[in-house]
Amino acid sequence: MAAPTPAKAQAAPISVRAAIDPGKGILDLNVFDGTRAPFPQTTPVLLTIRDGQQNQLYREYVTGPNVSLTLPIHNNFADNYSIVVWADGYQQAGFQPVKMSSGNRQALDLMLLPEDGTFHFAHAKWTDIAAKKPLLSQLFIASAGADPGQTYGQIEEDRPDHLACLLNITTAMEQIALPQHNPLFYFKQLDLTALAADRFFGYADAKLVEQVKLAVLQKTFTPEPAADLLLHPGATSSFKQIQFGEANVQLTFHEDKRLSIDGVDCVYIEPDMDYYKDPAAHALLEVIPNAVTHAITDPRLVYVLRWIAGRHAGVPEFDPLYTIE
């Protein structure tokens, strides 16, 4: 990516303030890297701010991973800000809408991934999975045959993007509160031959279907339209999490494909994660790397979007154990 040319605002739209003035709000912006650590203090970060009317208010380089911004409040949709950051050698990242209100202070955490970033599984070895992710460990043992550790290591070595996808989705599923348990709790077996970079397949207790339908009534999931099923050959129904603006889990059921596992009636299921709930966010944020135009979802982008969304929503840390460096 060519380095953008910063354009100064006509008037000073933001400033560092010790207190919140009437008619203004303070946003504490924190920038992190792909290891989920604070961004290097010495690396300049290009900060772009637009209001809800898409007026560019600010485009300047800032230093330090933490910046406090005082933003004007209009008491209308213009207070839905878009915040985008970029640094040389890194992909852009952003969030929209950041809803500001008079006299309030809030925080926004963003993550910048290196352009040539790769998956690092130093803390996501099989022994780490066994110790820190028991549901996934048990599922893998039930699916991988005599030596699950060797199978896991082979996937890490030969198909790191596939492993990252599996860790992304299963970590996100464990954070979903269904009326009873979480989606991963119901899984009985993985179809490791069908593991991909953007989704995985497996068999889950058929009770999961009813649990997700109850989640629809609780307005934490929504049914996908029939047209969406065309993208999932053989699917009978599909439901998407709507908790976040980005990186929600989608559960697609193939209820005609069933298997009895240890006496439990199981259905074939296809979990994946989408980039954005609102397609307009692509254009508004201008943070979409070329990978978004490809047919297959990039687990790197899912990683950063789900982490940012979780931080903004105040839910437990999204930690798939691996990092991007």
Q: Tens digit of pLDDT for each residue in 92-121?
A: 999 989 999 988 899 999 999 999 999 999
Q: Residue 71: what pLDDT?
A: 94
How far is Cα 97 from Cα 269, in angstroms, rounded to an integer?
32
Q: Tens digit of pLDDT for each residue in 188-228?
A: 999 999 999 999 999 999 999 999 999 999 999 999 999 88
Q: Tens digit of pLDDT for each residue in 255-304?
A: 999 999 999 999 999 999 988 766 555 444 434 443 444 457 899 999 99
Q: In 10 A of CB 171, how many CB atoms?
A: 20
Q: Residue 5: what pLDDT?
A: 46
Q: Could you tell me the CA-to-CA distances from 295 to 241, 274, 318 in Å, in that order?
A: 21, 12, 25
- In this prediction, what percent of the chain has a pLDDT beyond 70? 87
Q: Tens digit of pLDDT for each residue in 185-196?
A: 999 999 999 999
Q: Residue 281: what pLDDT?
A: 54
Higher pLDDT among residues 3 and 106, named by residue: 106
When the pLDDT of each residue in the chain is averaged and rounded to a whole number, the result is: 89
Instruction: Supply the pTM of this predicted model.
Output: 0.89
Q: Residue 289: what pLDDT?
A: 43
- Is 60 exceeded by the pLDDT of residue 313? yes
Q: Residue 13: what pLDDT?
A: 44
Q: Residue 195: what pLDDT?
A: 97
Q: Which residues contact 297 (CB under 8 A, 6 or more apart)?
A: 197, 198, 199, 272, 273, 274, 275
| Domain architecture of the chain: domains with CATH | 24-111 (2.60.40.1120), 119-324 (no CATH)
Average pLDDT for 18-22: 48
DSSP labels, 74-141: -SSGGGEEEEEEE-TTB--EEEEEEE--TT-EEEEEEE--BTT--EE-TT-SHHHHHHH-HHHHHHHH
Is the separation of the CB atoms in 50 and 98 below 8 Å? no
